[in-house]
A and B are shown apart, each in its own frame.
Chain A
């Protein structure tokens, strides 16, 4: 009796857009706050690893407008550690306690009348750090001789598990070939345009928290937050704003700040608002994990892969913050990709390093896995002398094998991989691309083709993360599984229909698609359906799987809405049947009416029917009363890990096959995407325009990951990409228009036959581009991002040594600067020498100097204000003079510390008399910079340092030969 779908499948205009296009969006910072709300700013660590010796916050506490300054000591009194997902004796606080473990880790929270005042007060806090050696590289972190981040652990290895499926050992032993790749997947992030925001209020009378935050789920973290705030779940009310400016997984990471601001509100007795700035976001929100993978394949002579051996070292940063180490286990069921491979061994290790903690990020584990697997497939073709197309073709799971159970335990729900693959090659013009490559190469151009096949999992099993535990540990903890989705459909007294869901969108258009789904079910127009997606844990139906992640909307939430509408419809059909004198199963819903099938004139208006249970419940049997229906739906296929560690990690599995042609410019070494074809089988498509939007959007993220984006850290753990001028995301200039192809094989496991589609290209595209670049360059080992500098090394060999000898960067140190220059002073060397040693003169000529204090003849202390790019800050400088050869040469060694960073350096100044009685000053310096200054402007630093130093010597020269003869005469008199 289902009405044929009409609205689903159409690219209807989005209901969300009118408000967003006219500036009437309701993002968290657009909503007003209660009068008296305070504003928070966070002091963050400039060090990757240091002991916090002392925090002097009294000047900040006493500043006008400041309500409180909270340090780790204050915060830990009011909350508990966030629970950690592995069995290890480590804690995870939302603020540093005795140690900082990454650049950007919160050290103190200032709560004040305005954000401006709070930021001023942050600058007044002085922290004494004892710097500790940092460990940045995940493999180095495994070495027990390296610095240890958490003393509860003996080293930095937080979790290790090995798995065996089938007979990998025997298969490798008898294999014709063994092919291996080693990859280092970098850290990157999808960086939503809107940053985190939280407004927290504590009610002391009820011991309850009410928090508004642009959190995206999963709401399993609600339990983590409530436990950290030490209240039962019902006393931790979490609400989300109607609009959220993108997330891509990243807004999961706002949750430690929800706890922190909850504590700040409790400490001050006032609501507290915090909005993250971009530097905070880039340095310390969350990123994808970086991972080192060694992947081996046992291969037949014809390229058929028989076994895989995975060895993955996952770098989760300085803390294992929930839900990590989920990134490592999300793909566990589909580690064999789109291929029919029956024997698999896996060794998974999770390490801690002095980098920001990781978390959800679009693709979540997929980019790392497919980078290894699909690089391997290309290497198999090359090492066996086969066509890469043929190697993929021979290994794809055969048509007709679905549902297909993988070696590691996933059930691949549906698909026809072979058909999608062949269609893509034919419709995407693969043969023509090969011809084009041949021609380009004949002309001496650098042109490559890449291929990728991938399975895109969606609707995560909430139990997959427990695969990190041993079967014994899982038995003790109790089984975890499922993926509860929920939707509520309600009828109002005027017969209107509303839908409430816990899907928490960040721009994906959920309201539009839910209106389509429910309109189809009830024979209405989408405009008749009012959809509410802002969420309130105190009022809405929700569960731990609620939220917007693992591409679960279309399959899970959409399906739940369809089921809830179906329940309402079944009741309405019984009411209508009684009124129309037909059986309920003879009632159909169309054109805003319920009518007798085959007799459209025997009809009742939907609105009248829908209002009946409000106005005349006495006329409607209780079991038929249709007011509000809430459906919770969890797929039975999502079972807990088996005793053999088999895990159906996701409900749905879409298929992707991509190929591309890239050309590399020999001079600039830039990679240009000539053609990109992406074939998707994501099951039934509800809104083609939005599916295209998810694919092009994901493709752009992936292109950034492939070519430009990396959260870069110096060897000392300093963070180097703190602005959008350093962390380069693609613009319209870089993103081509991909050719998108579809096959639709509905999922048998979801109510609407839908699957996820939002993350696929983040999994397939980075390696597809890398395969093309590797093909173009003819190289075996290649890692992202494929920057011109990396490609130049392949195309042109190692860079020649510069003619001028440069100081080598010191291992373990931060960003190093080198420079030298000359200046001419009108005064003779002796006079200049005296000036250099005179605090008053120094104060007058050091750029931005507020005063110089002489601690001894050779030890000075200065306060200076320096600006680098957009960041201006006040610093304390300690300068020691050594190797003095009056009046010829002096060495200055300085340490600079400030809220914005720290640095140190050495400079040698030599003075030489000129023929006309003046002095030539020559200087040379080496300096290192860390902290915020290093993060905001690698590219700006060298220039800024050069300018400041040049200004100093120019000022010195002006002082000696400027237009103030009186002063000069005095100077000469003293110097002579």
Chain B
């Protein structure tokens, strides 16, 4: 059974069996077998066979499995889809999406393969990588282009290149793109995945970046190296204090309902709808991360 937690995604290049096998033993929620950037032009066929057989016959247990295919306009895409759909990952990660029409065309191709192969139609979902200003401008349409789209992720390096912007650690150059993608994801009810933090030797920088990731409201983040996984998982797992606070909010609301008091007050402050929503989200995240949370509904 697939893990539906999407806090961390780790890429494993489709060229190295040892790295693909090792990737299944880390703590990431989502494992992305890559056919795109990490594979040289002369090894695309070999990577496709390797990833297909890995997902079909050696799938790591308890992980959400994705295959990142080559670009929408690449000559590799059609064969990548033939292999990827038949391997039956949880989702296909589509790079550099800029228009809803592109997603619709891939949806049609995937549906045709599912029908031809006798597989359930709609079983394979999509994660759309938004990696340019055009993609950001179309994010809302992309998010609803197909029922298969369950997540969107910002590709910050390509996005900043498309903007002629400089990529910096504070990340103000991607602040708008992060928010635009997040809002599109929230409007569509899908998962919002933040950009990678590229410097694997800067744990303090990653920590600061994660503060932004969490404050904005992302659901997950892609890792470029296994050593980033625990920090990113931690970012999306509520602390015991946050869980207790959320429980107290819901307990106060329950008590107010029982006593038919019009206004619910906790610690001298009014409990309003946004507080209730945040409390429920916190408890849902805790439960999703395997933390036992009881006592309130």
A binds B: no
Q: B residues within 8 Å of A by Cβ?
A: none
